[in-house]
Amino acid sequence: MKQQLAEIKQRALEALAAAETPAALEALRVQFLGKKGELTAVLKQMGKLSPEERPAMGQLANAVRGDIEATLEARKAAVHAAALEARLAAEAIDVTIPGKPVSLGHQHPMNQVLQEILDIFVGMGYTVVDGPEVELADYNFTKLNIQPGHPSRDRSDTFYFTSDDSVLLRTQTSPMQIRTMETMQPPIRIVAPGRVYRKDEADATHSPMFHQIEGLVVDEGITMGDLKGALETLMKELYGQDAVMRFRPHHFPFTEPSCEMDMQCHKCRGAGQVDGQVCSTCHGEGWIELLGAGMVHPDVLSGCGIDPNRYSGFAFGMGLERMAMRRMQINDLRLIFDNDVRFLSQF
Ligand code: PHE
């Protein structure tokens, strides 16, 4: 029996040493240590031994079991470690391979022009302010001297929210004049860029949503000369020192006197024709309308609690898309809103 045990031990340890997989190890465990295994079979013969022999043989059998179990555990750990090593080697990541390039976007061309314009105004001491796109009719119209019944309040031009027409999508940034004068005391020098909405069909020069930049300056002794100076500075900074502009009389309910400013067409240089053909950029006008402006109406000033006998001011409102189209040589307004990357990546 002693010999049998020694023989089992030797075979078991050799077989374990040769086993390379968890499945092979498990099969050996069953073969040697299992309920129907070889060791159990030997132990079953213990009954045949004399009572004196039994303890020593029992001890030996336990020692053999212990040795086989210890070797089995050691082999299991080794096989597991080897499998992990193999997997790590197979799945190794080469961190030195160059990454896939990520394509970076950039600012929209219209926002680039907006930033240029705001920078120029900030350089002249203006503050940039922001206001709501959902506006009260009071601010969009009434406080700007546009009384109920005025054609510009018509339902066919304006997106109203309420049946009493008291809340709307602002049709211009001019309500920011009122919001500013109600909360600030002169000297006031602000620009207010933002979206405005009108019920327009979209075409090459119209969109139901577009952007304006409002400007407002209020102080003692402000004149139309200051208005012209500010706008000329802007245009020359933006379009070059040789940019030519003109001021035409116009009417706005909230400025008096009022004007519009045109810029000489950059394509035909004011001639209205190119090579005997009507200029396609200005449609033969020779000029491109860029903004409305004027001296803040005394009634608007006093409506906001500013004494028109002491203070005067000018205001202007320009279409940002037009400024951007001119600056970036874009010929169709819709390109600005389509956001086609083939277009955007050109800027
Ligand atoms: N808000 C006017 C428009 O949208 C432009 C304007 C602004 C005119 C400020 C005068 C003063 O046409």
Residue 167: what pLDDT?
A: 97
Cα of 292 vs centre of ligand 1, distance in Å, is 5
Output the tens digit of pLDDT for each of the chain's 347 residues. 888 888 888 888 888 888 888 888 888 889 888 888 888 888 888 888 888 888 888 888 888 888 888 888 989 998 899 889 989 988 888 889 998 999 888 999 999 999 999 999 999 999 999 999 999 999 999 999 999 999 999 999 999 999 999 999 999 999 999 999 999 999 999 999 999 999 988 887 789 999 999 999 999 999 999 999 999 999 999 999 999 999 999 999 999 999 999 999 878 889 999 999 998 878 899 998 999 999 999 999 999 999 999 999 999 999 999 899 888 888 888 899 999 999 999 99
Q: Is the dihedral of CA 13, 34, 56, 2 positive or negative?
A: negative
**The two structure tokens encoding residue 173:** 């940034």
Distance from the CA of 268 to the center of ligand 1, in angstroms?
A: 27
Question: What is the model's pLDDT at position 237?
Answer: 95
Which residue lies with its CA nearest to atom 9 of ligand 1?
A: 316
Candidates 289, 107, 117; CA nearest to 205 is 289
Q: Whose CA is nearest to atom 12 of ligand 1?
A: 292
Task: Tell me, in angstroms, the distance from the centre of ligand 1 to residue 252's CA.
Answer: 7
CA-closest residue to ligand 1 atom 4? 172
Pocket test for ligand 1, best of 171, 217, 231, 252 (most atoms within 8 A of CB): 252
329 C-alpha vs ligand 1 centroid, how far in Å? 24
Ligand 1-lining residues (CB < 6 angstroms): 172, 174, 252, 255, 258, 292-294, 315-317
CA separation for the pair 145, 147 (Å, rounded): 6
What is the pTM (predicted TM-score) of this model? 0.72
Long-range contacts of 182-188 (CB under 8 A, 24+ apart): 182/304, 182/305, 185/306, 186/218, 186/219, 186/220, 186/306, 186/311, 186/313, 187/218, 187/219, 188/216, 188/217, 188/218, 188/219, 188/313
The per-residue pLDDT for 267 is 81
Confidence (pLDDT) at 169: 97
pLDDT at 50: 84
Q: What is the atom index within ligand 1 of the atom nearest the CA of 173?
A: 1
CA dihedral 321, 322, 328, 330 (to 10 degrees): 90
CA of 146 from ligand 1 middle (Å) equals 12
Which pLDDT value is given to residue 331? Answer: 81
CA of 61 to the centre of ligand 1 (A): 105
- Ligand 1 centroid to 194 CA: how many Å? 13
User: For residue 331, with 0-12 CB atoms within 10 Å meaning exposed, 13-18 middle and 19 or more buried, which class applies?
Assistant: exposed
Of 157, 172, 191, the residue with max ligand 1 atoms within 8 A of its CB, to mutate for a pocket test, comes to: 172
pLDDT at 251: 96
CA 128 / ligand 1 centre spacing (Å): 17
Pairing label, strands 209-219, 245-252: unpaired
pLDDT for the residue 268: 87
